[in-house]
Chains A and B, each alone.
Chain A
């Protein structure tokens, strides 16, 4: 089962439907977690949401508890949430992308996606990862073609993945394939 933690976003149910194509999905608010179901699930997904990672200490706790024990995937805010828990700084960007389709490319060799591959993706983020960022076993695997901002990371050892863009958006052309690969890896 996949447990999706909703940060009261207006895109979470698109995420739910996208993941439902692969497994049974349970979704709840971040402040109404069903502990039993969370424990039983094999994958935890942190949804997009408004604000910044410091607004969601409960989600940070869940990340720290289950890192390395379950597959964890973060989308947009969820992506930032995971990096924040890995001591990264999340900062404002000069140019903000809301409802924007842009191109990202795979930049690292070790990624589950082949290097140099490009994807058209939908973006809705005000904040970004401050770089340089270093954390054990984490590598930035995708970057924005136009601004070079970090767009995906992988930590295959601990089974943790994140997308700064929205694979569930209608602006992302290969969203389903991206999720499928992550779930299979």
Chain B
């Protein structure tokens, strides 16, 4: 909350013009503030044909200044395709499979606001983004249908075909949104560490994602999987949440599995013996809930390329289930609507190949006058369908409230 007041109320004429212009822009949360990227000189729309050349874009590039960076997102489908999985027969809205932008201006909002730009004269065209809510939210799956998939997956777990699987629920309404308004409103209540916003001509994304999938500097890489969610109430505290997770066998087992899986995904690209748990099982606090987190680090092998890192780490395991390949196959057979950005990854790759990526969850995608919010929760052996179905709603709640 402090964050928001500090930054939003600080009037800056440049920022004000930028916000009220028709320029595309991206905001990404950093530890002590926000970075805003704009004046995009390049926009790469990813598809299965150009993805390899996209990865090669970074070969022989030199990082000279902060704008030497591509920022954007990979959707869920293109990440599945990258690891050889095809998705058939799903309802699609034909949203982009992934887009990356090359910014020429970066604005850093910290205690002070600093602007780095390769553009000499900034021009703005006024544009008013209005928010219009044209229909109430509807979930794309009834409890009965959810329960059917849930029971099927429980059987698969009994047979050992999967150990943990996450079913996605989608909430949709007809609306136009002002993404900047939504984003700053969201940051006021939930400035999650991997929050971001994209405003482009024909779509916008507003996200308060809590989960860091990749943080790579030089040959060091860190991932911080989240597994375990607890609803907040007046009686809970960070300490009681920790006790809850620790004593709850179901949450602990779910978490353990994700830790071993993320160790595995890192090990695929890291030097033997270098993958270590940095901080095991701690609690992070959010507006409506608590999360159970572990951070794992490794040192990347010399011959590993950006494509290898993406293929090994994405889609991020904690929102899919385990083991990854078989579980993705089962999911893609059962879910009848495309996930789009949900469980994809947003982030950047610098020209020196340093990167940061999150897991896209807790997000609003507004495209073609529709807003969609997705949430997923896990089926393990001791899960109950009612509880997990409701957990999806809790996860989507702070986003749904923005529309009130």
Contacts and interface: CB of A to CB of B under 8 A. Distances in A.
Contacts of A25: 272
A10 B277 contact: no
A13 B264 CA distance: 5
A60 B157 CA distance: 23
A150 interface: no
B158 A50 contact: no
Contact of B160 (A14, A52, A99, A171): A52
Interface string B251-279: 01111110111011101100011010100
15 contacts: A8-B325, A11-B261, A13-B265, A14-B260, A17-B275, A50-B162, A51-B159, A51-B160, A96-B158, A98-B157, A99-B163, A99-B260, A126-B158, A170-B260, A170-B277
A175 B64 CA distance: 46
B256 A10 contact: no
Interface string A113-138: 00000000010111100000000000
Interface in B338-390: 380-381
A17 B160 contact: no
For B252, B260, B326, the residue with the greatest tally of chain A CB atoms inside 10 Å of its CB is B260
Interface stretch (B73-81, B134-142, B175-183, B316-324): B316-324
A122 B163 CA distance: 14
A169 interface: yes
A71 interface: no
Contacts of B252: 99
Given A8-B323, A10-B265, A21 B259 contact: no
B164 interface: yes
Given A17-B267, A126-B163, A169-B256, 6 more contacts: A11-B261, A13-B263, A13-B264, A16-B272, A92-B158, A122-B256
A21 B272 contact: yes
B267 A10 contact: no
Contact of B381 (A16, A52, A98, A101): A98
B212 to A, nearest CB: 19
Contacts of B267: 13-14, 16-17
Contact of B323 (A9, A99, A166): A9
A127 B260 contact: no
A35 B256 CA distance: 35
A54 to B, nearest CB: 11
Interface in B159-195: 159-164
For B157, B160, B273, B326, the residue with the greatest tally of chain A CB atoms inside 10 Å of its CB is B160
Given A17-B267, A20-B272, A50 B160 contact: yes
B273 A11 contact: no
Contacts of A169: 256, 260
Given A10-B324, A17-B275, A166 B160 contact: no
Contacts, number: 104
Interface in A10-69: 10-14, 16-17, 20-21, 25, 49-52
Contacts of A101: 256
B264 A166 contact: no
Contacts of B253: 98-100
Contacts of A10: 260-261, 264-265, 317, 322-325
A51 B161 contact: yes
B160 A126 contact: yes
A52 B158 CA distance: 11
Nearest to A8: B325
Nearest to B264: A13
A21 B264 CA distance: 16
Given A96-B381, A99-B254, A170-B277, A127 B160 contact: yes
Contacts of B380: 98-99
A50 B264 CA distance: 15
A166 B260 contact: yes
For B256, B273, B326, the residue with the greatest tally of chain A CB atoms inside 10 Å of its CB is B256
Contacts of A98: 157, 163-164, 253, 257, 380-381
Contacts of A20: 272-273
Interface string B272-291: 11010100000000000000
Nearest to A12: B264
A126 B381 CA distance: 10
A98 B227 CA distance: 14
Pairs of residues from A and B, 4 with the lowest C-beta to C-beta distance, nearest first: A126-B160, A20-B272, A99-B253, A13-B267
Contacts of A21: 272-273
Contact of B273 (A17, A50, A166, A168): A17
B157 A99 contact: no
A49 B163 CA distance: 10
A60 B338 CA distance: 38
Contacts of A52: 159-160
A10 B263 CA distance: 9
For A10, A13, A17, A171, the residue with the greatest tally of chain B CB atoms inside 10 Å of its CB is A10
Nearest to A95: B381
